[in-house]
Amino acid sequence: MPTSTAPVPTRAQAVVAPADGSVEAWVAQVAALTLPDAIVWCDGSAAEKRRLLDEMVASGTLIKLDEAKRPRSYLARSHPSDVARVEARTFICSEREQDAGPTNNWRSPAAMGAELREVFAGSMRGRTMYVVPFSMGPLGGPISQVGVEITDSPYVVVSMHVMTRVSTQVLRLIDAGQQWVPAVHSVGAPLAPDEQDVPWPCDDTKYIVQFPESREIWSYGSGYGGNALLGKKCFALRIASVMARDEGWLAEHMLLVRVTSPQGRRYHLAAAFPSACGKTNLAMLRPTLPGWEVETLGDDIVWMRPDDDGALRAINPEAGFFGVAPGTGVDTNPTAIATLGHDVIFTNVALTDDGDVWWEGLTPQAPAHLIDWTGQDWTPDDGAAGRPAAHPNARFTVAAAQCPTIAPDWDDPAGVPVDAIVFGGRRATNVPLVTHALSWDHGVFLGATISSERTAAAEGAVGELRRDPFAMMPFCGYMMADHWAHWLAVGDGLDPARRPHIFQVNWFRKGADGRYLWPGFGENSRVVAWIADQVERGRAAGSGVAEGAAASPVGLVPAPGALDVTGLDVPEADLAALLDVQPEPWLREADLTEEFFAVFGDRVPQRLRDQLASLRRRLTSAQATA
């Protein structure tokens, strides 16, 4: 298995590579390329954040919300062309194309470096260059990493204040020899004189580029979240996944929670869900099952490192939440709503007449009048005509510490031991409500084959599977099949008695009448309780089928009566359907999995191909005895 003795990455192929490798020399060379009017070294202080917020209100970049209704909170409106990640312009520039894999856009480092130097030349003229030293994870922690982002966007600086730990202490750690990730961001080419007051500058040309070998990030032309807050997806997943591969740990697109049973036993769950599959709701779960408690540790990204005892310890490397607003409401996620009471930056939501914000799903009924995310008047009639008040990808940026369910020790540098890893997708058919993997290899197979069924013709053929292995398809910084091999290797290095158990969940199974069979939301705590019980019983049993579970061809499912449904109005027939495994459709799905594996050729680990063969044998046997 890879170890932490991996060599420090060379900057030989860097877009800008100072000879002495120092931050100061690097900043000087980036400044010489981009030609800013001024350079500001950020310190992460409250005074710095306040000054930048006030400047952006004065310039029109931010709208200050009503202080009584939403203290110290602001609304930003992006350019309509700059509202989301731009996957088509996101590149993994590894030295070898095969190391990026078929699911990433690749360009040679030399060719991309030349292209970037051309577009960045003079790109900050007329603006201030901000140098933002930041830590992902608590400063100096054993699982943490540091970086420095250069940006010409004050919106990015204040957002990095929220999402990371911005501090001059980072520069001292780098001076002492800590590895660091250089990241450069510009909103784009200099504006024409008559465009100098545009609140949200951006460029039609966009690049979001990661260089795995030199650990560099370069982003051009976008001021939007994941494209511009380079500590987030660019560093914490794309670059960190490569660092993790080289050094023997895991950087994953996962939430992290602590579950406490009525008996006071604690369990830590890391869970990966593609978009629109219930990730944020699980991260902030309010259990309906009496006596159970769920505390939030992280909502989006988890770094996990094997410790000296053979357990897997995890941290949330972020300091804030960058969440999707539409669909978040008092009924669906009251914890998130409580988190957003103050000190929030909202982007592309609607503005109410009394200086507050609104988005679809916040309340059952829309206000009679709003200013929509583009700055235009809006009424419910506009909504009925198909024009939403908030952009569907409207966001909120808020400190994690404000979350009412945040664990008191959520930012402990040592992290927490992971007891269970959970994968989920949105499946109307086939996949049971919850499945316990038969082994680590089987669990990795479940993660590698995560999929959601397309639900409308506009998204593709109804029922077609959209694959998103480990919920990492847009975020893995190297060949996806090698990512699966790395998971196998990490598991091999863990103590079998401390290795996390792996599960798959599906909150979205439907009956023949198209009705959801499971109520979801807070009732998902009943499934979480079964997962915790399986972890506890599995430790005691050592191997084999633990009490409370029954064998199925796809894994272990709750035995009759094992899932606590006390007080829940779910008919027995629905419960049976939620856990039903039909061999024939599963055999067809196995064929689709083989087609998916073929995309990656001989890089797919043989152990996962063996898992597919074992699945087929179990299904064929079940079909023969049915």
141: annotated binding-site residue? no
Amino acid, single-letter form, for residue 268: H
DSSP state of 510: B
Q: Is there a binding annotation on residue 626? A: no
Angle at 388 (CA atoms; ends 387, 391), nearest 5 degrees: 125
Residue 266 labeled ligand binder:
no
Q: Is 117 a known ligand-binding residue?
A: no
Do the annotations mark residue 395 as ligand-binding?
yes
Closest listed residue to residue 203, CA positions, set 185, 215, 217, 183: 185
Closest CA to 184 of 235, 247, 138: 235
Residue 24, marked binder:
no
**Residue 268 in marked binding region:** no
- Count Cα atoms within 13 angstroms, Cβ side, for 521: 13
Strand partners, 549: 558
Tell me how far apart the alpha carbons of residues 558 and 541 are, in angstroms, rounded to a whole number: 16
Q: Helix (H, G, I), strand (E, B), or coil: what is residue 23?
A: helix
Instruction: Report the DSSP pairing between strands 62-64 and 165-166.
Output: unpaired
185 is in an annotated binding site: no
Whether 149 has a binding-site annotation, put simply, is no
**439 a known binding residue?**
no
Side-chain-side CA neighbours of 374 within 13 Å: the count stands at: 11
Tell whether residue 202 is among the known ligand binding residues.
no
Among candidates 255, 251, 236, which has minimal Cα distance to 149? Answer: 236
42 is catalytic: no
3-state secondary structure 267-323: EEEEEECCCCCCHHHHHCCCCCCCCCEEEEEECCCEEEEECCCCCEEEECCCCEEEE
Closest CA to 190 of 121, 245, 248: 121
Considering 42, 277, 403, 476, which one is annotated as catalytic?
Answer: 277
Known binding residue 277? Answer is yes
Does 394 show up as a binding residue in the annotation? yes
426 assigned to a ligand binding site:
yes
Q: Is 523 annotated as a binding residue?
A: yes
Burial of 560 (0-12, 13-18, 19+ CB in 10 A): exposed
Q: Is 510 annotated as belonging to a binding site?
A: no
Interacting residues of 621 by C-beta distance below 8 A, sequence separation 6+: 553
Does 316 carry a binding-site annotation? no
Question: Catalytic site residues?
Answer: 277
Tell me the binding residues for Mn(2+).
233, 253, 300
Tell me the binding residues for GTP.
276-281, 395, 426, 521-524
Tell me the binding residues for substrate.
85, 224-226, 275, 393-395
Tell me the binding residues.
85, 224-226, 233, 253, 275-281, 300, 393-395, 426, 521-524
